[in-house]
Amino acid sequence: MKALLISLASGLLTLGGLHAQTAATTTTTVTTSSGTLHQYTPGSTFVVKETSGPVTYTYGPEVVYATSGGTVLTPEQVQARIRVGLPVRVEYANQGDTRVIRRVLVEDDDDEVEIEVDD
């Protein structure tokens, strides 16, 4: 009886190993594009005016907003900084004909140039 149980357990482990070996892998290519934010409604509309014209993006399940230096923005910072006319870089993955946003990059505050005006 013990030998039968050991044989069954061994067979199940072998089948499990074969199933794991045949599992498919998928590769997602992330592309970066840049332009000026043309239309923006949080969570719904994200259109970037690129050199080829306006391009519409779809929000992915988890969109990360960050500075060009890599600092991830909090929801409050996103609300304060993301606006129409802002230069952005968009990292996205194609799903069919749809561009799905993964990450939006904006300039660091340190990148902004202050202009002094003499009175």
The reported pLDDT for the residue numbered 108 is 80
CATH number at residue 47: 2.40.50.320
Q: Report how far residue 14's alpha carbon sits from residue 22's, in angstroms, rounded to the nearest whole number.
A: 13
| Residue 5 is assigned to a structural domain of this protein | no
- Going by pLDDT thresholds of 50, 70 and 90, the confidence category of residue 21 is low
Give the residue numbers spanning the domain of 96: 31-111
| Residue 23 is assigned to a structural domain of this protein | no
Query: How many domains in the chain?
Result: 1
pLDDT tens digits, residue range 32-82?
999 999 999 988 899 999 999 999 999 988 999 999 899 999 999 999 999
Q: Report how far residue 109's alpha carbon sits from residue 67's, in angstroms, rounded to the nearest whole number.
A: 8
Give whole-number Cα distances, 71 to 33, 41, 77, 99, in Å.
19, 22, 11, 24
| Residue 15 is assigned to a structural domain of this protein | no
| Residue 3 is assigned to a structural domain of this protein | no
